[in-house]
Structure 1
Amino acid sequence: MAVATGAAGLDREHRKLILERVREQATRTVTDGGDRDGPNVDGDLLDDLEELLLDHVGSDNKITSGEVADELDIDDSEANPKTREAIRILLEERQFPVIGSSHGYHVPESREQVDEQVESLQSRAASIQERSQLIKEAWEQRGPAPGAGES
């Protein structure tokens, strides 16, 4: 009886087991204070964050990162990096759909809201890529401004 193998030459069951262990380790590293840079975000905080965000469904029902930090007693600075990281982890690890903008966060209530957000993010990414290319080209054409040192 032949054993089905993947591209790495491992049978499917073994590959599945390895992937599960990698995911488990990645989750433990992020949520249990492991090696990842940034704030430690534990499972209880993610549970509380998910519950709070479920009270903010729809684009007319946003909550700011500052309000999230206050509600969940997250010790954060004015820009709320810990809160924003917790929201990113919730999206990444639990696939909890949350949309963010300069006006706050909300859970989408329709596929249309998701599509609009994705389109907006893709447009912003393209704009940033274009601007980075323009900066590089301008530097290559002109070099440093007169009086500025070159690094």
Structure 2
Amino acid sequence: MLYKDIHIGHFIKERVEEKEITMERICNFLNRDEEFIEKVYHSKSIDTDLLLRWSKLLEYDFFRLYSSHLILYAPPAAVNKNDTPKSDKIPYFRKNIYTQEIKDFIIGKILSGEMTHNEIIQEYSIPKSTLHRWLQKIRNNNK
């Protein structure tokens, strides 16, 4: 799965086909017509409220695609953590939490020979020790 270039309409259509949900049910749930649904399938991006409704209908967290993109492609901030102003008005999340999908994506790149350890470390800013820990778990599970 590619997290670099996300075409959300494609992922939504894939999930609809996977779940075998009828167009009638989708139209009723979203309160939209078939033409609108087809436009969504061809859209690279959609409104977040609409994406939330699709996530509920299809029982899939489409927002994780974007979170995964941030983890992989947004470099960690080079500021002192104490200098970052915190607000009680919006929630803050730790950036260094890697989902299983992210781990599988990275490990797949290494095992396929597409990227080396050093390329992974440089491209995605994953600490060397973290990468080696993931690979060690794979080796232990294969024994």
Q: TM-score, normalised by structure 1?
A: 0.25
Tell which has more relative contact order, 1 or 2 (C-alpha 8 A, sep 6+): 2
